[in-house]
């Protein structure tokens, strides 16, 4: 994927990472308030770029302006959310165990713990979110909030948009009086530049959003390092949705309308796209498929993000549809032109799905496969056969839930987020969100890429033993000068 920017050389990357390390030391001397103001300034400078930013992003990604307007709001909202989190302060997980000098046989020391930043974080943004998962997206915002310098490799598919966002961050660095290299931006279209970024001595952690191939390559580069570092790759998912019998019988048309929309939202270019549906054979299912087909037929093709993604969609969807036993339910009634994607839903039996691993693979685009299971046992088997997922969803009535206990127990074991009677597309940015999940959804299921807890990827705990009060970080001092929630001798206190 070529663009007009010069590829960073390995030497340049070495220098960038050394500068990041120097900035790390300076950044640790800035106050919580200064960091918060900095994050807010980035948000304001992005807004100040105005419609020009939206137009550039739309040109580069083919995403419509209203969608990009919403994504920009999410991006600036995330930056401000992390500023609020910093000021609120309890994210550092301060905990205090006070001393007991009289304990026998040994006195109990005073031990206090909090989270501290890891160091320079390298971020590889996503093609499908030019704002929210890119240059100033969730990885960058959470790492800067954590106290880590950030180096972003611009996504080649929207490198000019990335440059514009970078210009906004540079202005914020100046106006907030931050270390000049607290955020740096490099271009690269090759795996070599990614390798150099991951393998630099100073790199302390990596955040990636994108394809399985890309995410695993970074993990592989990292495993060749002398000093291991955490790599958080978020690599997508087929997001299984189970439709239970009673709701299919009662609500087939409504469910179909909801899912025709979710499958084709943003031309299916979401990692939470419902690429797999499961149901038990019956009239409810056929009625649902009939309505779903009509819904899909009515949805017009639209341009995908770039030619590479379109080619992959063509290849993967044709491959899936060519498998024995796979039947097209419906495609869009309008022919796809150029790099447009053709919305498509297909049907396969549980038995065939279980026997053919190719059908388990993600088809990134407006595509979903319904697995027609002969009974609940087969449905559970199908669900167990798919790998780790970002989300899994169950659609059902109270009667359904009462009748399918084993299914409900299984769901949390395969995904980071379990939804009830909704669609997986759309990820709420909040404390409790888990946008992560067992491999291959991510490389480390213990963390989330969305929500305030995304900051936890870039920090480690440090404890202080018998430290004089005045020398402790503010978060751990007796008087609680930051006024934050802390676990003090096993009680949460403020």
Active site residues: 234, 271
Collapse the DSSP code of 180 into the 3-class scheme (helix H, G, I; strand E, B; otherwise coil) and give the result: coil
Instruction: Give the nearest distance from C-beta 20 to a copy of itself in angstroms.
Output: 15
Strand pairing report for 111-117 and 327-331: unpaired
Instruction: Give the nearest distance from C-beta 102 to a copy of itself in angstroms.
Output: 15
- Asked if 5 contacts 159 with a C-beta cutoff of 8 angstroms, the reply is yes
Residue 10 binding a copy of itself, by CB under 8 A: no
Encoded one letter per residue, x for contact with a copy of itself by CB under 8 A and - for no contact, window 392-431 reads ------x--x------xx--xx-xxxxxxxx---x-x-xx
The residue among 198 and 415 lying less far from a copy of itself, judged by its C-beta, is 415
The residue among 28 and 190 lying less far from a copy of itself, judged by its C-beta, is 28
The residue among 350 and 436 lying less far from a copy of itself, judged by its C-beta, is 436
The residue range among 15-23, 91-99, 137-145, 308-316 that interacts with a copy of itself, by the rule CB under 8 A, is: 91-99
Binding residues among 174-233 for a copy of itself as defined by CB under 8 A: 219-220, 223, 227-228, 230
The residue among 96 and 342 lying less far from a copy of itself, judged by its C-beta, is 96
User: Which residue among 106, 213, 322, 479 contacts a copy of itself (CB under 8 A)?
Assistant: 106
The residue among 253 and 408 lying less far from a copy of itself, judged by its C-beta, is 408
- Residue 351: how many CA atoms within 13 Å on its side-chain side? 5
Residue 439 binding a copy of itself, by CB under 8 A: yes
Residue 47 binding a copy of itself, by CB under 8 A: no
All residues at 6 or more sequence positions from 54 whose CB lies less than 8 Å from its CB, including other chains: 65, 68, 69, 72
Binding residues among 115-144 for a copy of itself as defined by CB under 8 A: 116, 118
Count of other CB atoms within 10 angstroms of residue 483:
11
- Residue 270: how many CA atoms within 13 Å on its side-chain side? 25
Please report the sign of the dihedral spanned by the C-alpha atoms of residue 203, residue 204, residue 207, residue 208: positive
Rounded alpha-carbon distances, angstroms, from residue 119 to 17, 205, 329: 10, 7, 51
Encoded one letter per residue, x for contact with a copy of itself by CB under 8 A and - for no contact, window 71-90 reads -----------------x-x
Instruction: Give the nearest distance from C-beta 424 to a copy of itself in angstroms.
Output: 9
Phi-psi region of 121 (alpha: psi -120 to 50; beta: other; left: phi over 0): beta
* Total site size for a copy of itself, rule CB under 8 A: 71
Residue 461 binding a copy of itself, by CB under 8 A: yes
**Three-class SS of 243-291:** ECHHHHHHHHHHHHHHHHHHHHHHHHCCCCCCCEEEEECCHHHHHHHHH
Q: What is the distance between the alpha carbons of residues 87 and 483, in angstroms, rounded to a whole number?
A: 10
User: Which residue among 266, 453, 475, 480 contacts a copy of itself (CB under 8 A)?
Assistant: 453
All residues at 6 or more sequence positions from 398 whose CB lies less than 8 Å from its CB, including other chains: none
Residue 97 binding a copy of itself, by CB under 8 A: yes
């Amino acid at each position: 994927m070529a663009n007009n920017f010069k590829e960073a050389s390995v030497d340049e990357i070495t220098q960038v990472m050394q500068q990041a390390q120097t900035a790390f030391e300076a950044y640790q001397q800035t106050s919580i308030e200064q960091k918060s103001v900095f994050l807010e300034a980035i948000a304001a400078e992005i807004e100040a770029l105005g419609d020009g930013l939206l137009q550039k992003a739309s040109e580069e990604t083919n995403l419509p302006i209203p969608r990009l307007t919403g994504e920009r709001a999410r991006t600036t909202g995330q930056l401000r959310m992390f500023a609020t989190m910093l000021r609120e302060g309890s994210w550092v997980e301060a905990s205090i165990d006070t001393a007991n000098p009289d304990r026998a046989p040994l006195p109990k020391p005073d031990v206090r713990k909090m989270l501290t930043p890891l160091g320079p974080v390298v971020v590889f943004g996503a093609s499908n979110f030019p704002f929210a998962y890119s240059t100033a997206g969730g990885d960058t915002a959470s790492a800067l909030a954590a106290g880590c310098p950030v180096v972003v490799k611009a996504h080649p598919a929207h490198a000019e948009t990335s440059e514009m966002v970078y210009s906004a961050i540079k202005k914020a660095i100046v106006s907030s009086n931050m270390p000049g290299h607290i955020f740096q931006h490099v271009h690269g279209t090759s795996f070599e530049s990614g390798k150099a970024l991951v393998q630099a001595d100073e790199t302390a952690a990596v955040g990636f959003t994108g394809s399985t191939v890309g995410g695993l390559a970074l993990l592989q580069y990292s495993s060749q390092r002398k000093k291991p570092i955490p790599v958080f790759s978020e690599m997508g998912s087929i997001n299984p949705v189970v439709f239970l019998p009673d709701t299919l019988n009662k609500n087939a048309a409504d469910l179909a309308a909801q899912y025709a929309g979710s499958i084709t939202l943003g031309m299916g270019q979401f990692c939470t796209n419902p690429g797999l549906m499961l149901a038990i054979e019956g009239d409810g299912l056929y009625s649902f498929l009939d309505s779903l087909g009509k819904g899909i037929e009515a949805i017009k093709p639209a341009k995908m993000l770039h030619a590479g993604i379109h080619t992959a969609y063509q290849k993967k969807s044709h491959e899936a549809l060519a498998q024995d036993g796979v039947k097209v339910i419906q495609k869009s009634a309008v022919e796809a032109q150029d790099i447009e994607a053709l919305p498509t839903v297909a049907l396969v039996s549980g038995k065939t799905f279980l026997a053919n691993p190719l059908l388990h693979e993600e088809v990134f685009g407006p595509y979903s496969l319904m697995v027609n299971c002969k009974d609940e046992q087969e449905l559970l088997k199908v669900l167990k056969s798919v790998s780790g997922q970002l989300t899994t969803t169950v659609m059902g009535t109270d009667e359904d839930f009462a009748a399918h206990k084993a299914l409900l127990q299984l769901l949390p074991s395969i995904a980071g987020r379990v939804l009830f009677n909704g669609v997986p597309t759309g990820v709420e940015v909040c404390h409790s969100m888990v946008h992560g999940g067992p491999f291959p959804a991510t490389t480390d299921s213990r963390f989330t890429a969305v929500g305030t807890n995304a900051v936890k990827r870039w920090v480690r705990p440090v404890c202080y033993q018998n430290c004089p009060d005045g020398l402790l970080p503010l978060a751990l001092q007796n008087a609680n000068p930051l006024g934050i929630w802390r676990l003090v001798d096993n009680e949460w206190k403020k």
